[in-house]
């Protein structure tokens, strides 16, 4: 179990773009289960269908990627720093099955499929009340930030 303070120590993301509130389970090298509490106060709801507030699908995928980042950092026994960045390098088989709306608790389940030469591949699912909201195969890579001259 990890609370928000520990998440902030691992990920570089901050409000309004931090999309993981708590980690329920984390088995380094294998899987993570985390949650995002979706509230009506989220910035994106101001413009994403004000008449029917829906969390943008790309942000559901981003929440899954942030959970994957936590899992990778825990697996490597490290954390984000100012010299590197954890990039998306691929999203395959993304499917959206139900809208995510204010009041939902988004359960983020991510499993490592492969890790080789700094490239990570994951199988990811986002659920609300045990109903599949979204799923995708994600690929991410940790890269050094080039030094400015």
Catalytic residues: 48
Q: How far apart are CA 136 and CA 16, in angstroms?
A: 23
Q: How far apart are CA 111 and CA 71, in angstroms?
A: 9
Q: How far apart are CA 15 and CA 110, in angstroms?
A: 22
CA distance to 76, 104, 129, 144, 146, per residue, from 61 (Å):
22, 16, 18, 23, 27
Q: Reply yes or no: is the peptide bond before residue 99 cis, omega within 30 of 0.
A: no
């Amino acid at each position: 179990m990890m609370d928000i303070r520990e998440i902030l120590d691992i990920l570089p993301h901050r409000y309004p773009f931090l999309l993981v509130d708590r980690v329920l389970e984390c088995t380094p090298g294998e899987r993570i289960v985390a949650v995002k509490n979706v509230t009506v106060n989220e910035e994106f709801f101001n413009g994403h269908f004000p008449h029917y507030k829906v969390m943008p699908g790309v942000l559901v995928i981003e929440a899954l990627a942030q959970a994957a980042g936590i899992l990778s950092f825990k697996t490597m026994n490290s954390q984000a720093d100012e010299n590197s960045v954890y990039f998306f390098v691929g999203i395959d088989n993304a499917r959206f099955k139900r809208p995510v709306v204010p009041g939902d608790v988004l359960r983020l389940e991510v499993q490592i499929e492969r890790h080789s030469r700094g490239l990570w591949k994951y199988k990811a699912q986002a659920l609300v009340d045990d109903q599949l909201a979204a799923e995708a195969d994600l690929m991410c890579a940790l890269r050094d930030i080039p030094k400015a001259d």
